[in-house]
A = this chain, B = another copy of it.
Amino acid sequence: MKQKIKEHSIQLFDKKGFTSTSIQDIVESIGVTKGTFYYYYTSKEQLLMEIHLQFIDEVLNEQEEVINDSKKSFSDKLFEVIYLSLMDIKKQGPSAKVFYREMRHLNPESLTEIKAKRDLYRFNIEKLLNEGIKNGDLRSDLDVPIVSFGILGVMNWSYEWYNAEGQKNAFEIAKSFQDMILKGIKVEE
């Protein structure tokens, strides 16, 4: 039931927004009473936090598994991190939207915790780039923090447009992005 409340809430928050969705809306959509809601959650904010945590923890675990795999090359790691982010949209699209849009409705302590995890995701990308520079795979003149934001932009923006039923699949898109980020778009001089 707890998972069901979460799933229905994600759908409602995605459609109507967090503030416009009442606890009454949530319980009605499942056909239970408010008592059931309060058996599992103390407030709508606590539920929102659980949705955020579930999303970011899953995303972080997947990312770290790839990044810490010493058998993979830099190029493969970059591809897989991008590919995973597209698969996450497919798997948990509405969660991703709720994550990005409704963060400001978390209470201050929750927000601090979520922001730290978001930052960790970014620092892992920085770490990956720094390793690539050290290994001689990447150009040593890169501005690592800015390039990290650029790569995150390429990845995160896809939740705005990526359609899992679209013409191109996640594999092809991740390949194009990997290629663009590694080699750039310009003809070599």
Q: Residues of A with Cβ closer than 8 Å to B?
A: 16-20, 75, 101, 104-105, 129, 132, 136-139, 142-143, 146-147, 149-150, 152-158, 160-161, 168, 172-173, 176-177, 180-188
Contacts A101-B101, A187-B137 hold; do A177 and B150 have CB atoms under 8 A apart?
A: yes
In the complex, chain B residues whose CB is within 8 Å of the CB of A20:
19
The smallest beta-carbon distance between A43 and chain B, in angstroms, is: 16
Residues of A contacting B: mostly: helix
Give the number of times this chain occurs in the complex, counting copies: 2
Bound form: Cα–Cα A156–B100 in Å: 13
The smallest beta-carbon distance between A67 and chain B, in angstroms, is: 16
The smallest beta-carbon distance between A144 and chain B, in angstroms, is: 10
